[in-house]
């Protein structure tokens, strides 16, 4: 199967699972974002790598990096939500234009190295 089709299917599956988890359009706290991301990742068996709040132009944005799968089958995801609320955006890190996307694979590699060293 084409890798790009797999990425689209993964993004679509996550987006469908988020319909009930996305907060209403209001200010979203870090805890609320963590709850939404946790629910989405639980639905697809994903693992949260890290989350942060970053400036995106004049507005803030919650960003989380996650992975699904293991070893060479691992795919990295980026989940973003404006701090002012709205819809949670889910995309594969490979397709994302968000600068945080490049950190996901590096962070996962670092965590793998720590596990090996421990």
pLDDT in tens, 14-41: 666 655 555 455 788 999 999 999 998 9
Ranges of each domain in the chain? 3-117
How large a percentage of the chain has pLDDT more than 70?
A: 85
How large a percentage of the chain has pLDDT more than 90?
A: 36
- Going from the C-alpha of 30 to that of each of 21, 33, 36, 37, the distances in angstroms are 15, 5, 10, 11
């Amino acid at each position: 199967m084409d890798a790009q089709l797999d990425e689209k299917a993964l993004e679509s599956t996550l987006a469908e699972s988020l319909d009930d988890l996305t907060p209403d359009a209001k200010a979203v706290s870090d805890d609320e974002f963590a709850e939404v991301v946790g629910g989405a990742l639980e639905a697809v068996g994903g693992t949260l790598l890290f989350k942060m709040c970053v400036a995106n132009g004049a507005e803030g944005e919650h960003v989380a990096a996650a992975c699904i799968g293991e070893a060479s089958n691992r795919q990295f995801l980026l989940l973003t939500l404006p701090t002012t609320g709205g819809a949670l955006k889910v995309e594969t890190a490979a397709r994302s234009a968000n600068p945080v996307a490049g950190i996901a694979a590096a962070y996962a590699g670092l965590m793998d190295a720590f596990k090996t060293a421990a």
